[in-house]
Amino acid sequence: MQDVSSLVAQARDGRPRAVARLISLVEGASPQLREVMAALAPLTGNAYVVGLTGSPGVGKSTSTSALVTAYRKQGKRVGVLAVDPSSPFSGGALLGDRVRMSEHASDPGVYIRSMATRGHLGGLAWAAPQAIRVLDAAGCDVVLVETVGVGQSEVEIASQADTSVVLLAPGMGDGIQAAKAGILEIGDVYVVNKADRDGADATARELNHMLGLGESRAPGDWRPPIVKTVAARQEGVDEVVEALEKHRAWMEEHGVLTARRLARASREVETIAVTALRERIGDLHGDRRLDALAERIIAGDLDPYRAADELVAGLTSAGPSGVN
């Protein structure tokens, strides 16, 4: 068992090993997870969480690295969660810490962590909300969350970030795919990366047209800007940071930032509660109570919905061990 209070104190001092151990406790669903979250709770709420998503090949890792450079020039501490596909053998992240971000590896003001999705859909790891909380409590001013890049299902980042950045690139059909993927609804800032390639202006125009068709905004509502970048050369990245800061200021002025964070906390509590109930229901397999309900259904004395109601009522009125 690890000394959680000591780990948290070391993480606050910027020690990367302590941060790594705390995130490992989160990823492994450690028995100490409740203690970790309780210790972190008073220390959170300061980090600005930016999500980056987009199809494979648009330059998410390069763009993330470029944003780290820009924020570090401002003197801000930056945390990066780079979510990778899971290895079918070890369950770990396939790519490990990103090669494209290796230039920041020795910077004490930057913490980079690759996380495995472990089969979780939506482009994020299931432990991402708690890992974000660890980086927040560790004193990161900005947390950049880079999603897997699996394509059209990757909209979950909008529920975990304060601001969502959608990256596209010319010549990849992204403009057409955007309409299908639902990303026109989740993007707060759009970035056309690799803007030195042919077709960048056309991609930006097409995206602007699609945003115009899909919008039903009242006066004063946020209209997502479109920024063109060449992240590999740090071109246009300062404009992306400026767009992010403008969006943050707009959210604070209109109460949107608080509303988003409240919704995020509500979803997290719901997920934890549903997971706990699912585990307790799983423990009932082979239990006489579940068999008795099944027998009543087969006999025609009970329908499945009423049986489920009885099961849920029994679980919620019982203690953790299932005993009233």
Distance CA 228, CA 240 (A): 9
Evaluate whether 307 touches 296 at the Cβ level (below 8 Å): yes
Reduced 3-state DSSP string for 9-77 = HHHHCCCHHHHHHHHHHHHCCCCCHHHHHHHHHHHCCCCEEEEEECCCCCCHHHHHHHHHHHHHHCCCC
Residue by residue, pLDDT tens for the chain (324 residues) are 789 999 999 998 889 999 999 999 988 888 898 999 999 999 999 999 999 988 888 899 999 999 999 999 999 999 999 876 544 334 444 444 455 566 787 888 999 988 765 444 443 446 788 899 999 999 999 999 988 664 444 556 667 899 999 999 997 665 555 555 566 678 899 999 999 999 999 989 988 888 877 666 777 889 999 999 999 999 999 999 999 999 999 999 999 999 999 998 898 888 888 888 888 877 776 678 888 999 999 999 999 999 999 888 887 765 554 444
Taking the C-alpha atoms of residue 284 and residue 312, their distance in angstroms, rounded to an integer, is: 12
Rounded Cα–Cα distance for residues 185 and 201 (Å): 22
